[in-house]
Chain A
Amino acid sequence: MDDGADWYIEVAYLEWERRCYVEIVVCVKRVPDTETRVRIDRDGKTLDASGVKYVMSPYDEFAVEAALRKRDEAGEGEVTVVTVGGADSAETLRTALAMGADRAILLEGEVTQDGLATARALADEIGKLAPDLVLLGVMAADHDQQQVGPMLAVVLDHPCVTGVSSFDLVDGRAVCRRGVEGGTETLELPLPSVITITKGEYEPRYASLKGIMAAKRKPLETKAAALPDPRLRVMTLELPPERTGGRIVGEGPGAAADLVRLLREEANVI
């Protein structure tokens, strides 16, 4: 009998502990601000970075916000932010620390358009941290790859849902909601898991002055990224053909008939 009671208490304790402690890793990336006017570098392959302002990729801000809220709802836990990038990326990590993340890891290495190489470098570190949950942005606002999250999940052998607008952590599972054609889908997956976040419930907070000060004392570790050689090679980067501004068909509702005729006869699109 005694045994049974002990067992019961232990299970209850584990349940309690799980509810109260959550470890979350958020992958963040430093990208050009969306206002950037793109110019091509002399190498013909990369963005000319002179004068470009860099920010945390917008979707990653949602992911950081989601992680902070889940940690605070759980009552206890740790949010670690990780990035693969150059020394400049420390700035992006500091931003996340100022928002409220607990610690940061900079995996120093080249930023590549080979999403699988990036995923492997991230997995090498995250595998050791063994968090309950890994959050990423649905897409980084530089190369619009939309792939590192699900690739990371495959490498870690974790289940993964992409494009999640809100989720709950319940009894060792993540219950995720995401917009799909014609409605909202709810998916459930066991932890540990990987979730990519889109705009939805997690409007990012601004870092307070206190947060910015506190961030300076939070741990930021730098190590070399275990980045395999990229196998997706960028051969050239070019500006898209200019759209030659078209013509004003006319003014007011009277121009509607002419427009429809042009769309049918000239553009052939209706």
Chain B
Amino acid sequence: MGKILVVVEQREGRLRGTAAEVVSAASELAVARKATVEVLLPTGPGGVSDAEALGAHGAEVIEVVSDPALATYHPDGFARLVERRVRSGGYDVVLMAATAQGKDLGPRVAALLDVPLAQDVTAIESVDGEVEFLRPVYAGKAIARVAIDADPKVATLRPNVFQPASRPAAGGVVEGALDDDSDGWPTRVVGFEESGGDIPDVAEAGVVVSGGRGLKGPEHWEILEELRSALGEEAGLGASRAVVDAGWRPHSEQVGQTGKTVSPRLYFAIGISGAIQHLAGMRTAGTIVAVNKDPDAPIFKVADYGIVGDLFEVVPRLTEEIRALRERSA
């Protein structure tokens, strides 16, 4: 009987969407390996109100470690906590989401355990008792199949790719203690400046609305923001490099080879031509929609659905139609 540890994230006292995705991927692997899935959930003093929901996706045990020092991600503290759990728990697989947190935490945990890491994985396969991971390389222009010749196998899983599955297990919530002195963590978070509002990171958003030079200026992002908010909470904003270089949008929103590689369920490319470096970053999206006035724009070669037209006319109508649909189905 093997054991799989899943490290999940919370935000403001509730599970993040990636928690169900990674636990589901873990429980699917657990079936093949005859293993059990345990969850580690570091959080602030308030706990996590919906922690037990992970039982429905296959978590046997959900350990909630509440401590003021764990309220937000701390690289030193989280890495040490996960390392201790893995060492004492005897896990043979450790999984987390390839979110901003996971991509920082994964390498630290793997190095502390002296094992390699499969980062930003888009599929896990169990072949003759061995685990193999698929991960995009060259910004998604190729897919590598890799195996890890060490235990435990540590991997981070790309958000929005693994579907939450129903696989009921005990899901018992237990309280754990931090047992560490946060004064000994060398890195200190000394400030936070809010900007851009409370919308998900482009690499983690389930739906992405991206804008390019076709928008003609930063003042026109209002149109995209309207579309984004019509699409709901899980929608984020992206940008082409042209508009980031022009200073219209922050680099944190850039999609592509020198930005973020994203795999949302739904991707809107608005006024983006579809250069190879941009396509590299979004070609693994579920459904791609393009709006462009040039019928020969390369973006239409990868888009599932396209509208040829002036984005300043098309996008507001699209927003209206989506709002109307949401109202009808609400």
Q: Give the CA-CA distance A149 to B117 in the complex, in Å.
A: 13
Do A240 and B283 touch (CB < 8 A)?
yes
Do A145 and B317 touch (CB < 8 A)?
no
Closest to B320 in A: A256
Task: Please give the distance in Å from B155's CB to the nearest CB on chain A.
Answer: 10
Interface centre among A117, A148, A236, A262 (most CB of B within 10 A): A236
Do B295 and A248 touch (CB < 8 A)?
yes
Interface centre among A141, A149, A239 (most CB of B within 10 A): A141
Do B287 and A267 touch (CB < 8 A)?
yes
Q: Per-residue CB proximity of B157-196 to A under 8 Å, as 1/0?
A: 0000000000000000000000000000011111111111
Q: Give the CA-CA distance A150 to B83 in the complex, in Å.
A: 15
* 8 Å CB interface, B235-271 against A: 244, 250-252, 254, 257-258, 261, 265-266
Q: Give the CA-CA distance A160 to B186 in the complex, in Å.
A: 9
B57 on the A face (CB < 8 A): no
* 8 Å CB interface, B48-106 against A: 75-76, 79, 100, 103-104, 106
Do A263 and B309 touch (CB < 8 A)?
no
Do B295 and A186 touch (CB < 8 A)?
no
Binds A, one of B18-26, B38-46, B143-151: B143-151
List, in ascending order, chain B residues with CB within 8 A of A198's CB.
251
Task: Please give the distance in Å from A212's CB to the nearest CB on chain B.
Answer: 24
Do A256 and B141 touch (CB < 8 A)?
no
* 8 Å CB interface, B278-321 against A: 280, 283-284, 286-289, 295, 300-310, 313-314, 316-318, 320-321
Number of A-B contacts defined by CB within 8 Å:
275
List, in ascending order, chain B residues with CB within 8 A of A145's CB.
117, 119
Do B117 and A115 touch (CB < 8 A)?
yes
B35 on the A face (CB < 8 A): no
Do B283 and A189 touch (CB < 8 A)?
no
B32 on the A face (CB < 8 A): no
Q: Give the CA-CA distance A97 to B204 in the complex, in Å.
A: 38
Do A231 and B258 touch (CB < 8 A)?
no
Binds B, one of A13-21, A35-43, A65-73, A75-83: A35-43
* 8 Å CB interface, A142-164 against B: 142-151, 153-155, 159-163
Closest to B298 in A: A245
B110 on the A face (CB < 8 A): yes
Q: Sorted from nearest, which 10 A-B pairs have the closest CB atoms?
A: A154-B111, A186-B191, A147-B107, A246-B304, A232-B116, A256-B317, A159-B186, A253-B317, A179-B252, A151-B111
* Residues of A that sit less than 8 Å from B by CB: 32, 34-38, 40, 47, 58-59, 113-117, 119, 141-151, 153-155, 159-163, 165, 175, 179-190, 198-200, 230-240, 243, 245-253, 255-257, 259-260, 262-264, 267, 269-270
A-B contact list, 24 entries, CB within 8 Å: A32-B138, A34-B257, A116-B111, A143-B144, A147-B103, A147-B117, A151-B108, A179-B252, A181-B200, A182-B196, A183-B193, A189-B187, A232-B146, A232-B148, A233-B146, A233-B147, A237-B142, A240-B140, A245-B303, A252-B309, A255-B307, A257-B321, A259-B305, A259-B318
